[in-house]
Structure 1
C-alpha cells in the first residue's frame, strides 16, 4: 500500500480556512491520495491519510463552514441579501467537478474490447467507491454544515416541487401545509421503496435506499459527498456506455420492401455495456464462478450509482443471477440427496 500522505499544515503561512481557494489547495492532495492513488488491497480499500493531516482537514473544514454560517457583517449585508451563493457551495462545486474529472479518467481508460469491459469496470468502481466513502468521512463537515442546510432549504434529492407537480391538477384551496407535507413524506417513501426499502426495515436498509435515491437524482440536487461521487460515476462512466450508438443513416429508397426474416431476430444489445454483459453471460471461456462474481459486482455498482431497478440491463442481469442461483441451489440439493 502506498505511503500515507504527510503534509505539514504549518508549512504555509496561509490558513486553509480563510478562503475556498486555500481550503481546496489543502484538500486536493489528500483527495488525490485516497481517490486516485493505486491500492494493493484486494478489496480496493482506499489508502489511509496521515492522522495529523486528517485532523487538520477536519479542523479547517469546521472553521471554514462555521465561518460561512455566521451572520453577515453590516459591510456585506447587502451582498448577503442578494443572489450570492450559499456559503460553502464553492467547495461543494469543486468536489463535484473533481469527482467528474476522476470518473472521466476512468471512462477514458476503459478497454475498447467488450470482452474485458466488465472485468475493468467492477474493480474500478470498487476502488473509486472505497475512495468516495473515505472522502465522505474525511469531509464530514461538508455534509454536516452545507449538505444538511441545503436539504433543509429544499435543495436535496427530493424537493417540494417534485410533489407539487404531481398535485397541481388536484390541488384545491383547502389543501393545507400539513397535507402537502404528508404528500411529500408519501412521495419520499414511494421512491425509497423502489430501492428495496419496506416500512419497518432496520435503519441500515433505509440508509442504503436513501443513498440510492440520492445518486439517482439530477446533478443539480445537493447530496452527501459519497452520493455526489457515486452520481458522477453514473453520469460520466456508466450512462455513456448504456447509450445505443447512432445509426449512420437510412436508405433513401422509399418503396423498398424489407425482407421477411426466416425466424425471430436474435437478441442484440445496442449499448456498449449491454453488449459487454451479453458477452460475459454467454462466453465459454469464463468460469461460472467468475461470471457470477463479475455480474454480481456490476449489479451492485449499478444499484449504488442510481441506475433504476426497472432499467432493461439491470432486469436482465437480475434475472440471469436469480436463475443461476436457483440452478446452483438445485444442484447442491441433488448432490446432498445423492450422497
Structure 2
C-alpha cells in the first residue's frame, strides 16, 4: 500500500484545540490502524515523512500551548481545583479511537468457528503492527504525558497495589530505598507471569511489560501501543471468551448450577473456547495449519493481556507443548 501523503490541516492550527489536532491526526491513524494491508512482512502502511514530522511538531506545539494555558489559569484563578494535566484529553481521545477500531474488527468476525480463529490471528497481527506504528507516530504523547503519569504512580502497577506488603515493613525499615525495593520485587513477580525471567534479553523484558500493561484495568495509564492492545482485549477477545448467560424462569435463575462429578466439562463455554475445541478435533485442518493457528492464537491472547491462568490459554499452551519438534527446528 502506498504511503499516505501529507495533507493540509485547513485553516485551523493543530495546536489551537483538540478538535483541530485530532482532525490532523485521524487520517494518519486510520491509514496505519484501520486500512487493509497485504504486506507479507506484517508492517503497517507507511505515511509520508513530511506528515510524520508534521504530526510530531503538532503534538509538541499542542502540549506546549496547553501547558502554558494551564499555568496561566492556575496563576490568575482562585479556583483551588487543579487544571487537568496537559495531555489527558488527547490520551482519552486515543483510547476511544482504539476501542472503536477494535469493535469494528469484532463486528466483522465470521460466525463459523474455525473461520473465526483464521480471522483472529491475521486481524491481531495487522492491529498489532498498527498499534506499534501509532506508538512511534505519537511518541511525544508517550514522552510528555505517559512518562509523567508513570512518575506520578498512575501506571499499570502502582504503589497502592503493594500497599499492604509495604505497610508491614514500613515501621521497621521505612526508608524510601526499602519501599522502592519492595515495589521492584513485586514488579518482577508480576512480569514473570508474562514470560520475564532473570537474565532474559531486553526485548523479552519489554514484551513481558507490554503484556502486563495490556492486561491492566482501563484506569491505568500505559504507552500508546499497550493502550491499543488493551482495547483489542476488552472489545474483541474478552467478549469471545465470555460464557453465554442462560435465561430461566426460575427464581434461582442467577444461581450457578453445580457440575456433576465436580468437573468443568459440562459448564457452558465461550465462543472462542468452542472454536478452539472444534479446531483441535477437526479432521479437515492439516496439522501444520492447526499448529500455526493455535500458536498464533496463544500469542494473540498473551499479547493483549489475557492472563496465563485463563483455562483457554492453559489449553493452548498444553497443545503447543505436545507438538513434536520438526527436523528443521532441531539444532
TM-score (norm 2): 0.89
Give, in whole Å, the separation in 2 of the partners of 1:73 and 1:180.
33
SS at 2:143 equivalent = helix
Give, in whole Å, the separation in 2 of the partners of 1:314 and 1:208.
17
SS at 2:131 equivalent = helix
Displacement of 1:76: 3.9
Deviations 1:191-240 (A, max 9, x none): 11111111222211111111111111111100000000000000000111
Aligned residues: 323
1:40 is aligned, of 33, 38, 57, to 38
Give, in whole Å, the separation in 1 of the partners of 2:277 and 2:114.
9
C-alpha RMSD of matched pairs (Å):
2.8
- 2:183 alignment partner in structure 1: 184
Structure 1: state its 5+ residue gaps: 334-339
Give, in whole Å, the separation in 2 of the partners of 1:212 and 1:80.
40
Larger-Rg structure = 1
CA separation of 1:90 and 1:79: change in aligned 2, threshold 3 A: farther
Give, in whole Å, the separation in 2 of the partners of 1:48 and 1:80.
46
- 1:12 alignment partner in structure 2: 10
1:65, 1:141 within 8 Å by CA — same for their partners in 2?
A: no
Displacement of 1:84: 2.7
Task: Select between 206-215 and 72-81 the one with higher mean Cα deviation.
Answer: 72-81
Residues 234-253 of structure 1 aligned to structure 2 (within 5 Å): 234-249=233-248
- 1:195 alignment partner in structure 2: 194
Displacement of 1:167: 4.2
Displacement of 1:155: 0.5
Give, in whole Å, the separation in 2 of the partners of 1:220 and 1:136.
19
Question: Is residue 53 of structure 1 aligned with residue 51 of structure 2?
Answer: yes
Give, in whole Å, the separation in 2 of the partners of 1:5 and 1:267.
52
Give, in whole Å, the separation in 1 of the partners of 2:83 and 2:5.
36
Give, in whole Å, the separation in 2 of the partners of 1:80 and 1:92.
25
Give, in whole Å, the separation in 2 of the partners of 1:81 and 1:127.
46
CA separation of 1:261 and 1:223: change in aligned 2, threshold 3 A: closer
Give, in whole Å, the separation in 2 of the partners of 1:129 and 1:79.
46
Displacement of 1:53: 0.8
- 1:337 alignment partner in structure 2: none
Give, in whole Å, the separation in 1 of the partners of 2:264 and 2:206.
43
SS at 2:171 equivalent = coil
TM-score (norm 1): 0.87
Question: Is residue 111 of structure 1 aligned with residue 122 of structure 2?
Answer: no
Structure 2: state its 5+ residue gaps: none
1:4, 1:48 within 8 Å by CA — same for their partners in 2?
A: yes
1:72, 1:80 within 8 Å by CA — same for their partners in 2?
A: no
- 1:137 alignment partner in structure 2: 136
